[in-house]
Structure formats: C-alpha cells, structure tokens
Amino acid sequence: MATHTPVPTAHRTGIADTPLHYGRAPRWLFSRMTLLAREMAACLVEEFGPIEVLRRLSDPYWFQAFGCVLGFDWHSSGVTTTVCGALKEGLRGAEAELGICVCGGKGRASRQTPGEIAAFGERAGRDPSPLTYASRTTAKVDSAAVQDGYQIYHHTFIFTTDGSWAVVQQGMNEANGYARRYHWLSETVASYVCEPHAAVCSDTTGATLNLVARESDLARRLLPQLAREERPERLVTELERIRRLELPRRHHLLAEDLHPRYLERTFLSAYERQPEDFEALLGTPGVGARSLRALSLIAELVYDTPVSLRDPARFSFAHGGKDGHPFPVDRQTYDRSIQALGRAVRRARLGDREKLQALRRLARLEV
C-alpha cells in the first residue's frame, strides 16, 4: 500500500438537511453507481488506507459531492439512501480485500445492522460487541438525545477490520419536507454524549432539545441521578404538577405532549437499573425521547438545571443527474470513468502507480 498522506481537512462531520424526494434511481443508473462506488473506494484504500474511506464518508460536504459524481441529485434526500446502498452493494464480496464492511441501510435493513456486524465478527474471529454498541448508541443519540423533529429511518454503519467506524444516518421531518443526515466518525468521538458531532453542515434550524450539547453538561449529570434516586411515583407527581403550570410560549420542551402515567413504567425501569451516567441512562431499554424530555423538564423547572435548546446545525457534477439536472447522465462517460479507475487500481497493485499519480496531479490542478 502507498504511504501517501491525504491533505488534512477541517473536521466537518455533522448534519446536512436535504428536501424529501420520493422514488428511486433507475436500475441502469444504480448498477453503474455500485461499480463506480467500488472503484472509488478501492482507489482511496490503495492510496491512503481503509480509514480514509471512513473519513471521507463522515464529511457531509464530501458525501454530497460523492453522490453528485455517482450521478444522483445533489439536493435530494435520496442521495443518502442511494449512495449508501450503492456502496454496500459495490463492496459486497470485497470486504476482506479492501478491509471495509458496510452494514444497515433504510427501514428494515437498518434493523439488521447488529446481525450483520455479528456475522462479520464470526467470520473474522473477533468480538463484535464494541461495534454493535457504537451502532446502537449513535442511533439512540440522534433519535432521543437530539430532539430536532426528525425521525431516524436510515442507519448505515461502515467499519474497517481494525475496528474504526463511521455512521451515516438520516431522519425525516414530514412537516417541513426535509430530511436531515447525521455523520459520525469514531476517531473524532471523544464522548458519545458530549458534542459527538465534530461540526455541522446545515441551513435549516428549529426548536431542538439538545442533550449532547456542552451546555447540557449539568443536565446530563442530574438526569441519571433523578432516575436513580427519585422514586417513579414522585417523578410522575412532579411531571403532573409541571403540566399544570402556565409555561412561557417560547418554551420548546412541550410538556403538553407528555403523559406522566404512561411514563411511570419507563421511570421504574430506569430506577431499577440504577444508571451510573447519562450514557447508561440513554442505553436503558424503554428510555427514549419522551422520557428524556420529561426528565429534562423536571431538571430545568424544578431543580433549575438548564438544558440546551441549541440546534446542532450551524451553518460538480461529473456525470449529470438522475433527474436530468444539470444535464442527463452520460452513460458512455460514466462507464469510461469506472473502467479508468478500475485499471488504475489494478495497475497500482502490481506496482505501476503511474495512473494513480496522474489522477492525483489532476486533483491538484498540476496538469
């Protein structure tokens, strides 16, 4: 493998919003997408190693550009599911050769992620539990600890044979017609529950309960303490009292959506498990968005512990686009790109790196 080091880039992992589009890529295009995705991944592995594929996929800007190169629409929510699906299909059978595995997907496929990770562990003779934990926890954070109005429906977990991983998952908000994409990268995650997204790429904002913001540190310490030390019936009583208060119109925690008696069983489950910290509380079965919101209300209004309402969101075409924008996909050019990349990678593996070096010069505008 080459020893070339990629040019360092700022960490821009995080969130991207795209409008909801329905439908799917035509079969003739998707089959080409799988081939080109495989050759591009193989090129990155040959040049920089498997970890670089994870780094690129965790960058929402690069991911969006990747989708454009593959011929999908830059502004469509479908770019997430289609690109991840094409990459998974393209790398099928080449996992051992490239050192990269892709699990999960959209809807039902997302729920098969733990089983797919376990199958890899069995074949490789290694414990898959750290990867399974990472998959489950990242999904739980973005569905329960970050309450931004987007329901997670797509979860793709990509990992290397040495245990590094990246996550690309997407949530849907039918009210505003947008989907939001969440990116994770293991080497930048110091904590699952404190600013786990290194940075964010997004244009839309909204009312958000952000329990993984740095400003929510006191709440993260108090919430598991409440779950451990306060009996469930007392928590229900406090919550019922809060619901009778006249809350300010600006309040985003939406107490009117909470039904205290329905949450009593969840409170009891957390009380019995005695979670040591917020991460353990987040992993408690039954503890989801509503129970965390209820505990946050109690922490804020009864114990004067602030929680963050900051939305974590802050702020090219090579082959055409599926819908004909900016121009229809040129199938002959697309096929030539696949063949050229494939030849370059095969020759590099045989010791002839001239083609890859030419690609690198093109990237640096040196020709």
Is 213 in a helix, a strand, or coil? Answer: coil
Round to whole Å and give the CA distance between 143 and 145.
Answer: 6
Q: Residue 74 pLDDT > 60, yes or no? A: no
Grade residue 15 by pLDDT with cuts at 50, 70 and 90.
low
| Mean pLDDT rounded to a whole number for the chain | 80
pLDDT of residue 178: 80
Read out DSSP for 120-166? HHHHHTS--HHHHHHHHHHHHIIIIIEESS-EEEEEEEEEETTS-EE
Q: Which has the higher per-residue pLDDT, 51 or 171?
A: 51
pLDDT of residue 4: 39
Grade residue 326 by pLDDT with cuts at 50, 70 and 90.
very low
Alpha-carbon 210 to chain mean position? 16
Query: Residue 183 contacts by C-beta under 8 Å, 6 or more apart in sequence?
Result: 13, 14, 15, 16, 57, 58, 59, 60, 63, 166, 167, 168, 197
Going by C-alpha positions, the residue among 207, 235, 244, 205 that lies closest to residue 296 is 235
Domain ranges of the chain: 15-208+313-363, 214-301
278-287, 313-322, 344-353, range with the lowest pLDDT: 313-322
pLDDT of residue 175: 82
Q: Residue 266 pLDDT > 80, yes or no? A: yes
Confidence (pTM): 0.79
Hey, what amino acid is at 308? S
| Contact yes or no for 338/261 (Cβ under 8 A) | no
Q: pLDDT tens, 214-232?
A: 999 999 999 999 999 999 9
pLDDT of residue 355: 59
| Contact yes or no for 100/158 (Cβ under 8 A) | yes
Mean pLDDT to the nearest integer, 129-155: 94
Q: Residue 192 pLDDT > 60, yes or no? A: yes
Is 185 in a helix, a strand, or coil? Answer: strand
